[in-house]
Structure 1
Amino acid sequence: MDDYDVAVVGGGPIGCFVAERLASKGMHIAVFEEHQNIGEPVHCAGIVTQRVFAITNCPSETSEKIVQNTISGAVIHSPTGTNLVIGGDKTHGLVIKRQLFDEHLAEKAKKAGARLSLQTKVISAKKRHNHVESTIQHNRHHMTFCCKLLIGADGAHSQIRDTFRFPKPQETLQGIGAELSDTALDPQFVHIFVGHKIAPGFFAWIIPTNLKGTSARIGLCIGKHSNHTLQYYFTTLLQQPLLHGTTIIRRFGGTIPVGPLKKTVADHIMLVGDAAAQVKPTSGGGLYPGLLCAAHCSTIADEAFQIGHFNEKFLQRYHIRWTKDLGRELSLGMRFRNIFSKFSDAQFNKYLEKLNTKKTIDVINTYGDIDYPSRLILPLIKAMPSLLSLTPSMLKHTIK
């Protein structure tokens, strides 16, 4: 039986970032990843900001290899086909090679001293008096290990979350996507499609993935009350004129948990990333919020080892810290999502038409932030007071 200080379940970027930070403190760290390769399968649309590289201390020479393209604006397509064009003034997002980014963080974790086991699945875990005892399966062989702290970074369908009966995310979105070649896009603009005929309850996207606009990553998510299958809506997306004559290189899919958990720690247990639904409800982006929460997770885990306290009361400091940083943002995002998901196509058309003025577009360009979309709410309402009829409850929470 192997013993570890900390066992991290999930070898994605969130889990590896936690592992690297703790291993660098001299702890005995194990990371268990059920898939064969780091970064596979890819589920991510792959747009981030520079904050992702800053928080992970990614060297510029490495980030330059990871970044495929820069995005300065977006074209939002209404159900009637009219467009709202925003941005174009500066870099608002970076398109990344997600697998390369994941591999970079995994390599950093290994160099720091973490043990990374691929094709290894945790099949059971039980709390004992002062530790957690878990059984893993690797190549059909079962092994048991003990750890003082078990960190669940095992994604949207977290086994650790379910095993220890944490609350579930408020909602789980279903997504589908593909990598395309032979596109003819403006490389600096993403395209967003809203409406019940293409992505009910969420939106669809086209993201140029190179500087020439000749390749793209496309996808969509749908809410729980959709009338058709994911494949039906994906076919509708592929029929967009922008995608005529393109070639599908690879397909992918996945789920996105939204609505953060009210509880993310228990005795000897912590949850982080998608396992804790630390995901932006408005966009489905989980990389930056997950990494930010992972930093708090590793800090509190380190403090727990310094004093030898692994009970829920002490580990609750992690929950308090990450909710202080992101709780309001995610809560507001969920409120907006609940409004947005109930929009009719007529409402989408109405509000996109209202937003299509120089004054409001200037506000969006000035205050819009991929990582903190709520920062746009108050400036936008000041520029467009009629939004108050849509968001009175949100405004109350925004100004608190």
Structure 2
Amino acid sequence: MISIIGGGPSGNYLAYLLAKEGSKVNLYEEHDKIGKPIQCTGLLTDSINSFVKIKKEFLVNTLDKARLFGPDGDYTDIKIRKNFVVDRHKFDSHIAEMAVNEGAKFFLNHKFLDCKIKDKITARFKTSKGIKELETDYLIGADGPRSSVGRSVGLVTDKRKYIIALQARMSLKDLNCEKDTFEAFMEKRGFGWVVPENDEIARVGIATAGKNANDYFKDFLKQRCPNKKIVEYQSGLVPIYTPEMKCQKNNVFLVGDAACQVKLSSLDYGEPVLIKKNGFIMTVRIGELVDEEIKKNRKNVIKEGSIDIVKPKDILSYTPDYKSKNFRFYKTNSLIRHPSEEDIYEIIIDRGYRIKVTGEHSVMCVSEDSFTPKKVKDLKIKEDHLLVNFNLPKGNFTDNINIIEWILEEKPDLVENIIILGGKNLLYKKAEDVERKKRRTYWYNDRIPLSLFLSKGIIPNDVKLIYKKKFGREIKIKNIIDLSPELFRLFGYYAAEGTSNGRDVRLCFGKDDLMKGIVDDAINCAKKVFGIEPNKLHKKLNPKTNKDSSYYVIFGGKIVYNLFKNILKSGDKAHNKEVPYIVFNVNNNLKMEFLKAYLLGDGHARFRMPKKRKNWSSDIMAATVSRKLLSDLVLLSFQLDLSPTVQYQKAREHELYGKKIKSKYTYLLSYSKKNDLNKLSDIFGSKKSLLLKYLDKIKEKSIAGLPITLLPDIIEKHKDLFRKEFGQYSHYKTLSYKLLEKIFSKINDNTERIKFMNNLIINRVLVLPIKKINKIKPTSKYVYDLEVNDTNMFVGGVAPIIVHNTHGGIILGMLGAEEVKNSITNNDSYDRRWKKRIGKDLFYSWLMWKVFKKFNDKDYNKLIKDFKNPKIREILGRYNRDFPSQFIFKILYKKPSLIKYGFKLFSRQ
């Protein structure tokens, strides 16, 4: 038996969650109606849709502008994300109805008195019929800021502090304010507001931590709306969060206003994310990225319980905005790591693209006029669609590679082992300038440690490098590497056939590769690129046939090994292979050299041309066991305007060099679109004519399009246009962007919905249905997240799938409800769960309160003046107010003068 005290949003939502899972749930409410008395403004951010869909029956107004006033009457207007004003009575009742429909029972006029904890919990209630005692296994206090449940078990004491909120409902016409505008008044005593409820009524109120709340309220009403008729008074308390608060004692829990939480959700360790670092576009495994940054910045790691947070300096994440308009790299605010305590799910969408996330993580779906987050656990197969960025930044790196500069950036510990040949004139004018003991080596042999150049601030350019070793052949490598087709073919061969033992680079080719000329090309590439002669061709014998079966090309030594593995991040074994990140940053011709070499080394072409033409098919395929390489190849293909599919299958047992190789799972990358095959047709010369014959007889099919289910109102309004382009379109599942672009260019409609759909089309965002959702094992004991200040979105997975990770007043209570449910279900610590999830946002809310309560009127006037800065207004308007960490540092960065207030005033604490 689970007993919930309090019929507000968090209590009702928790009752719904628990009853839905089959638990026996009783909810006890002190009053005779759910949602009465009203004790808040009923103003919600758009995050509410992640829990309860906004319905007309309780929605009373929508706001999209905030007007912030200072004590002197000066103000600034800010365009904000959509906020909803709800009828709290109807809203709370709606959630209660959801719970009842799942089997929860509600008992009104039941006032909780106290409880005793023994084997079970005995709770006492005051009812219309007298005192009632009830036994329960779990007791949850959702009974507001003073929480009688919390007080009865010592979780809430008289030390808890509160903000007092007073509100009146008044005539909107008398107030002379705009229906779509939320007014906020900031002064030393507290915070005032005007929230339009509808065409006739507005909610006018104040919140203060001071002792004279009634006087402040009267003064505010007199100033903002003198002699106006008050329809109704309302009041409430807001508890002030402190970092040390606890919300569980045995089987007693607090939720909602009694305890606030925020969601922290994450990706699996190995999921690739698209970032820009040091000016280079790259994909990185999110776990490697976060672990590396934490290791480099140990002194600056923020510890919040078991959560590690680090603020990166130079990492940008690729993301769109909510309207699918501005696709670009945004500053990454935080990198986050915490223990993996949730199930991991792999979401697989059409074309085989996929991503691994926790069940609480949100991915982006399409709403009527914007992107909207949806939790993984709430997704429905075939019904929901995920979003994939097809248009990706190309990169514009045109310089040569200076190996020394790249060593300093990516692998500085190599410096002590590098000797420079041909650089003496950069340090000395004549032999006598060199110390006698070192003259022979430094001057006459022209062999000088790289560290000596660097100690004098010199980075050599046109020199050769050798790796210091006690014995064995020295390999001289050119320091300046041209961005040539040969270099990128060599990268492609390495991705397909390469490996390393830590001493050099090895390419392993089969007998067929020798006949195709790949082996000779690889040798010539190594010669031209590095100015070296690769080791002689090594042949490996098949012990079963005693004949040559494979060939090794070995070259480069430790310098080239480190260039491939540690500097350009190419990996060194089949399971950890990657596309060198420089490939994402060069022109398309060089990108194509890489891709063709990879497919030539590891791919093959297939043709199926039976008598029935509709069954014709062809593709170019390659297999890899590296999920990261697969993801990189998909991203590279998108940059080249190619659209491969992905499969995951179990390879058959086979024989290699006379040994049996057990079956294993592998990823298949396949190109089958006409556009793709045309661009790749010259890879397999012997099959090119057959491929072109096939391509000549098929039509291209577009993969980019919108599901017809997203467009019913637009289609109905513009039937003639759709019929002209699509004919009988009713049987289509998806309408291609190519034809939709024609239609939308003729639609003279400037609504947000049309603009959003048009942005999807122009930016070629793939809207792909979910095929499968599989529960899988995590690849690490940690899961990871990153936070992007501007959008709270980033892209990751196999294909750049758009994901989201935050939610946020009433919303916090609902998040808390979910954690109570999870704790009861898993029989683990609720305090650990919610402390893991409150994170930075509750801390920053508390910190801001500590600072702002010391502001005087002069400080607030200055603040409003600073908020007139267009960049600050844009930042404030873009963020969800429930999550201050999303914008507080961004504002301080844009307006450093504000920092002095924080240090000055917080130091008074």
> TM-score w.r.t. structure 2 length?
0.38
Which amino acid is the alignment partner of residue 276 of structure 1? A
Instruction: Report the counterpart of residue 645 of structure 2 in structure 1.
Output: none
Moved over 3 A (4+): 167-170, 391-395
Query: Which residue, 83, 89, 92 being the options, matches 1:93?
Result: 83
Write out aligned runs for 1:51-62 (5 A). 51-56=47-52, 58=53
Q: Distance in 2 between matches of 1:276 and 1:53?
A: 22
Which amino acid is the alignment partner of residue 109 of structure 1? A
1:259 and 1:182, CA in 2 relative to 1: closer, same or farther beyond 3 A? closer
1:299 aligns with 2:299: no
1:303 CA drift (Å): 2.4
Query: Which residue, 152, 166, 171 being the options, matches 2:155?
Result: 166
Is contact 2:168-2:230 (8 Å) kept? yes
Write out aligned runs for 1:137-152 (5 A). 137-152=126-141
SS in 2 for 1:192: strand
Q: Distance in 2 between matches of 1:35 and 1:376?
A: 39
1:167 and 1:119, CA in 2 relative to 1: closer, same or farther beyond 3 A? closer
Instruction: Report the counterpart of residue 191 of structure 2 in structure 1.
Output: 203
1:185 aligns with 2:177: yes
Write out aligned runs for 1:1-400 (5 A). 5-56=1-52, 58=53, 63-87=55-79, 91-129=81-119, 131-168=120-157, 170-183=160-173, 184-196=176-188, 200=189, 202-210=190-198, 212=199, 214-224=200-210, 226=211, 229-241=212-224, 243-244=225-226, 246-260=228-242, 262-277=245-260, 286-304=809-827, 314=828, 316=829, 318-366=830-878, 368-391=879-902
Q: Which moves more between the two structures, 107-116 or 351-360?
A: 351-360
Which amino acid is the alignment partner of residue 202 of structure 2? A
Q: Which digits, 9 at most, give the CA deviation of each residue in 1:28-76, with x for residues without a partner?
A: 11111111111010001111022223213x3x5xx22221111112111
Q: Distance in 1 between matches of 2:246 and 2:172?
A: 46
Which amino acid is the alignment partner of residue 336 of structure 1? M
Instruction: Report the counterpart of residue 282 of structure 1 in structure 2.
Output: none
Q: Distance in 2 between matches of 1:108 and 1:259?
A: 30
Is contact 2:112-2:123 (8 Å) kept? yes
Instruction: Report the counterpart of residue 309 of structure 1 in structure 2.
Output: none
Is contact 1:204-1:221 (8 Å) kept? yes
Which amino acid is the alignment partner of residue 899 of structure 2? L
SS in 2 for 1:79: coil
1:134 and 1:167, CA in 2 relative to 1: closer, same or farther beyond 3 A? closer
Which amino acid is the alignment partner of residue 134 of structure 1? A
Q: Distance in 1 between matches of 2:858 and 2:63?
A: 29
Which amino acid is the alignment partner of residue 145 of structure 2? A
> TM-score w.r.t. structure 1 length?
0.84
Count, aligned residues: 357
Q: Which digits, 9 at most, give the CA deviation of each residue in 1:315-353, with x for residues without a partner?
A: x2x222222222321111110111001101111112221
1:277 CA drift (Å): 5.0
SS in 2 for 1:273: coil
1:336 and 1:322, CA in 2 relative to 1: closer, same or farther beyond 3 A? same
Is contact 2:165-2:236 (8 Å) kept? yes
Q: Distance in 2 between matches of 1:393 and 1:271?
A: 35
SS in 2 for 1:41: coil
Q: Distance in 1 between matches of 2:845 and 2:108?
A: 35
1:394 and 1:22, CA in 2 relative to 1: closer, same or farther beyond 3 A? farther
Q: Which digits, 9 at most, give the CA deviation of each residue in 1:150-189, with x for residues without a partner?
A: 1111111111111100144742111111111242321111
Which amino acid is the alignment partner of residue 220 of structure 2? L
Q: Distance in 2 between matches of 1:394 and 1:114?
A: 49
Instruction: Report the counterpart of residue 493 of structure 2 in structure 1.
Output: none
Q: Distance in 2 between matches of 1:393 and 1:291?
A: 36
Is contact 1:181-1:215 (8 Å) kept? yes
Q: Distance in 2 between matches of 1:82 and 1:122?
A: 47
Q: Distance in 1 between matches of 2:890 and 2:220?
A: 32
Is contact 1:48-1:93 (8 Å) kept? yes
Q: Distance in 1 between matches of 2:254 and 2:116?
A: 16
Q: Distance in 1 between matches of 2:130 and 2:180?
A: 49
Q: Distance in 2 between matches of 1:179 and 1:278?
A: 30
Which amino acid is the alignment partner of residue 251 of structure 2? H
Is contact 2:81-2:877 (8 Å) kept? no
Q: Distance in 2 between matches of 1:276 and 1:34?
A: 19
Which amino acid is the alignment partner of residue 859 of structure 2? Q
Which amino acid is the alignment partner of residue 377 of structure 1? I
Q: Distance in 1 between matches of 2:875 and 2:7?
A: 40
Q: Distance in 1 between matches of 2:876 and 2:102?
A: 42
1:216 and 1:79, CA in 2 relative to 1: closer, same or farther beyond 3 A? same
1:340 and 1:354, CA in 2 relative to 1: closer, same or farther beyond 3 A? same
Which amino acid is the alignment partner of residue 204 of structure 1? G
1:355 CA drift (Å): 2.3
1:392 CA drift (Å): 5.2
Is contact 1:31-1:114 (8 Å) kept? yes
SS in 1 for 2:137: strand
Is contact 1:278-1:286 (8 Å) kept? no
Q: Distance in 1 between matches of 2:904 and 2:855?
A: 16
Q: Distance in 1 between matches of 2:843 and 2:81?
A: 27
Q: Distance in 2 between matches of 1:215 and 1:134?
A: 41
Instruction: Report the counterpart of residue 310 of structure 1 in structure 2.
Output: none
Percentage identity across paired residues of the two chains: 27
Q: Distance in 2 between matches of 1:204 and 1:258?
A: 18
1:19 and 1:394, CA in 2 relative to 1: closer, same or farther beyond 3 A? farther
Q: Distance in 2 between matches of 1:287 and 1:393?
A: 33
Q: Which digits, 9 at most, give the CA deviation of each residue in 1:72-126, with x for residues without a partner?
A: 1211111111112211xx5431111111110011111111111110000122210
Q: Distance in 1 between matches of 2:261 and 2:161?
A: 12
1:95 and 1:147, CA in 2 relative to 1: closer, same or farther beyond 3 A? same
Which amino acid is the alignment partner of residue 288 of structure 1? I
1:333 and 1:393, CA in 2 relative to 1: closer, same or farther beyond 3 A? farther
TM-align CA RMSD? 2.2
Which amino acid is the alignment partner of residue 82 of structure 1? D
Instruction: Report the counterpart of residue 398 of structure 1 in structure 2.
Output: none
Which amino acid is the alignment partner of residue 195 of structure 1? E
Q: Distance in 2 between matches of 1:244 and 1:204?
A: 15
Q: Which moves more between the two structures, 378-387 or 322-331?
A: 322-331
Is contact 2:10-2:813 (8 Å) kept? yes
Q: Distance in 1 between matches of 2:14 and 2:161?
A: 26
SS in 1 for 2:893: helix
